Amino acid sequence: VTVKNAPFKGKGTEDDPYLISSKKDLQVMRDLINDEDSSSSFRECVYLQTTDIDLEDEEWIPIGKRAFDGTETSRLFAGHFKGTIQIFLKPAIIENLAVEGTVNSTDISVGGICGEICGKNGIIRNCSFIGNVSGGEQAVGGVVGYIWQSGSVIDCYHNGTVTSNGGRIIGGVVGNIHTGGSEDSNTVLIQNCYHVGTLSGASDAAGTIAGIVSVDTQHESIITIENCYALQGEGNAIGSGKANTQDITLLKSALMKAAASSLGSAYKENTDSSFNGGYPIFNWQNSVVGDCNNDGVFTIADIVMVQKWLLNDGTVLDNWKAADLYGDNVINVFDLVLMKQMIVNIK
């Protein structure tokens, strides 16, 4: 049995992604990818989360499955997702995602954005997790729990505590990196990332960037960690093992807050001390009030976008929070009126 009809708006392509607009949509997406009868039709599609989704503290089954005896299955997620859930990747992309909350698990491979990248070059890019991450014995990370064989974490940050309930292998950005498990060339890249917060509960292999880096020397592997930052006083950048390292720096808090230009073009200085502790944020975070199309300025184009969205013509608000002028986490006609008043007052 092959299920082909999707219960989402869109076609699942780059030009017309499936729209995930509710907790129910996310649950259906997960079940379709995890089920052997429907996985082949949905695991390689493109998904766009169009609104914040609150999982309401319910126990969550991850999206994507693989056997932990080393045998891959046909139900690994291999598409492209912009959303807020731990996902097993092969080869897939999660990008432009900011998550704030708490992740708690008793299992291994636990991360704020992704539990595990396994296989071939999964990418986590332009993502952040603000909050505490707690997992089992090993492979607990602020952004990614475990990278196996190949993968990249680029332009990402974590702000919060990372805790191992089993006493070992945690990292501020990535918990555990292991390569060389296949005859293919294996490459891991951690680039332009930072961690602020604390590491807790690990007596072995706790690193502010990566907890442990291990390589099977029988196969070719290149592990590079470059241009990454963490706060002073939380221990070594790498808890155990070796990688090709460049410009890994431990900074005092004041210098970290001013480090946006050093982290790269994805970041900007955070002028709001109440958000993310004042540490660097992405260019699309804390945007200009009213700038719901994310072009860096508030213009009549933003008002037109909100008006079309309210008319339900299929318009997607790229940055709906910027349009929430009324401050009630709901976009409605009150926000539209306030936007019109604001544009009149702009000289």
> Rounded to the nearest 5 degrees, what angle is found at the Cα of 149, between the Cα atoms of 162 and 138?
30
> Rounded to the nearest 5 degrees, what angle is found at the Cα of 280, between the Cα atoms of 276 and 282?
95
Q: What are the two backbone dihedrals, phi and then psi, of residue 27, each rounded to the nearest 5 degrees? A: -65, -40
pLDDT < 50 regions, the chain: 1, 68-71, 84-87, 89-90
- Contact (Cβ atoms closer than 8 angstroms) between residue 111 and residue 175: yes
pLDDT at 309: 92
pLDDT at 310: 92
pLDDT at 130: 93
pLDDT at 50: 78
Sequence-distant (6+) residues with CB within 8 A of 178 are 146, 147, 148, 149, 212, 214, 215, 216
Predicted TM-score of the model (pTM): 0.72
pLDDT at 96: 84
Provide the token pair at 252.
Answer: 């005092």
Cα(330)–Cα(308) distance, rounded to whole angstroms?
16
Sequence-distant (6+) residues with CB within 8 A of 101 are 130, 131
Q: Which residue has the tokens 């929430």?
A: 324
pLDDT at 165: 87
pLDDT digits (tens, 9 = 90+) for 16-60: 889 988 889 989 998 998 888 888 888 888 888 877 777 777 777
Cα(279)–Cα(269) distance, rounded to whole angstroms?
7
Nearest C-alpha neighbor of 224 from the set 265, 177, 264: 177
